[in-house]
Amino acid sequence: MLIKRAADIRPSEITPRAAWEDRRRFLQHAGAYALAAGGLALPDAASAQTQPGWREKLPSVRPWPQSTKEPQNTFEQVTSYVNFYEFGTDKSDPLKNSKNFRTRPWTLSIEGEVRKPRTFGIEELLKLAPIEERVYRLRCVEAWSMVIPWAGYPLAELLKQVEPTGNARFVEFYTLHDPQQMPGQKQAVLEWPYVEGLRMDEAMHPLTLLTLGLYGELLPNPNGAPVRMIVPWKYGFKSGKSIVRIRLTERMPVTSWVRSAPQEYGFYSNVNPKVDHPRWSQARERRIGEFFKRETLMFNGYAEQVASLYTGMDLRKFF
């Protein structure tokens, strides 16, 4: 048996811990999933939160007619089974460790290749465009998935406010860096702050959602309050949470997971069942609340809308 000292362990061997624990965690929680599938509640997520605004209704949300009709996961599942490493690597850590996370006041700055750099307050963001409830599939690189009613509006509506220049080819998203509030950032799991990115045409696509809530309510702390991204045809880690800065650039950004483990996580990270993770298959997935696996859909089921973005690209090379 090979025993490594801490100094010999590479970041790429540390960061996917949640992934290799997933099978064990699934066995541990299989009973809870079965209860949830049968309509019984998981532990009360709301009881763990004390910050004002938790479970606060959004003022006005209209339905999005293109939402998937698949059964939605419950609020308890969505808030208690989460990847948000800023609050810990276990799926239950964000719910436990974000209860005192302060999301007011909050600002989001946009800079870089824009004609009108600007900083928006969270109240401005809530009023900038009509908020829609969009029921999207969310597919995790760890081969589990959920169906979630996110609330927000296309990121394009926000980016238009700052007038991108002709040099803007990529968009970077920066999560808040505050180890006092985010205890996971005290660990060298990733290089903080968390950075994600999209190509400009991906960012401007109408499915790319600047997300401010779920289930018709303000976004809960464990799910990236008060503002996050949802890019439904990509693996979930592409959707940065608790965003404080957006930067438009001419060069492709080096995102957090690419920096940590480039052999495992590419810049594009589109859901592609034909491209396996180096340590597990992506051909099938387990919907949280279900026991048996289902086939993974190309682009997470959004191929008709987004496949044209990648015409002529080798999706095994640009993974």
The pLDDT tens digits for 187-217 are 999 999 999 999 999 999 999 999 999 999 9
Q: What is the mean pLDDT of the chain?
A: 88
Structure tokens of 125? 């963001």
Residue 33 in this model has a pLDDT that exceeds 90: no
What is the chain's Cα-based Rg?
19
End-to-end, the C-alpha distance of the chain in Å comes to 33
Structure tokens of 209? 């959602």
Say how far residue 13 (Cα) sits from the centre of its chain: 22
Would you tell me how many other CB atoms lie within 10 Å of the CB of residue 289? 22
Amino acid 55: pLDDT: 85
Amino acid 2: pLDDT: 43
- For the entire predicted model, the pTM comes to 0.85
- Residues 280 and 143: beta-carbon distance below 8 Å: yes
Structure tokens of 57? 């209704």
3-state SS record for the chain: CCCCCHHHCCHHHHCCHHHHCHHHHHHHHHHHHHHHHCCCCCCCCHHHCCCCCCCCECCCCEECCCCCCCCCCCHHHHHHCCCCHHHCCCCCHHHHHCCCCCCCCCEEEEEECECCCEEEEHHHHHHCCCCEEEEEEEECCCCEEEEEEEEEEEHHHHHHHHCECCCCCEEEEEECCCCCCCHHHHCCCCCCCCEEEEEHHHHCCCCCEEEEEECCEECCHHHCCCCEEECCCEEHHHCCCCEEEEEEECCCCCCHHHHHCCCCCCCCCECCCCCCECCECCCEEEECCCCCCEECCHHHHCHHHHHHHHCCCCCCCCC
Q: Exposure of 180 by Cβ count < 10 A (0-12 exposed, 13-18 middle, 19+ buried)?
A: exposed
Residue 69 in this model has a pLDDT that exceeds 80: yes
Q: Exposure of 290 by Cβ count < 10 A (0-12 exposed, 13-18 middle, 19+ buried)?
A: middle
Weakest mean pLDDT among 7-11, 62-66, 229-233, 310-314: 7-11
- Residues 82 and 95: beta-carbon distance below 8 Å: yes
pLDDT per residue as tens digits for the range 115-144: 999 999 999 999 999 999 999 999 999 999
- Residues 162 and 87: beta-carbon distance below 8 Å: no
Amino acid 177: pLDDT: 98
Amino acid 53: pLDDT: 56
Q: Which domains does the chain have, with CATH numbers?
A: 16-310 (3.90.420.10)
Weakest mean pLDDT among 49-63, 151-165, 221-235: 49-63
Amino acid 190: pLDDT: 97
Closest CA to 306 of 207, 190, 221: 207
Residue 14 in this model has a pLDDT that exceeds 60: no
pLDDT per residue as tens digits for the range 73-107: 999 999 999 999 999 999 999 999 999 999 999 99
Q: How far apart are CA 186 and CA 193, in angstroms?
A: 11
- Residues 142 and 18: beta-carbon distance below 8 Å: yes
Closest CA to 81 of 69, 71, 93, 72: 93
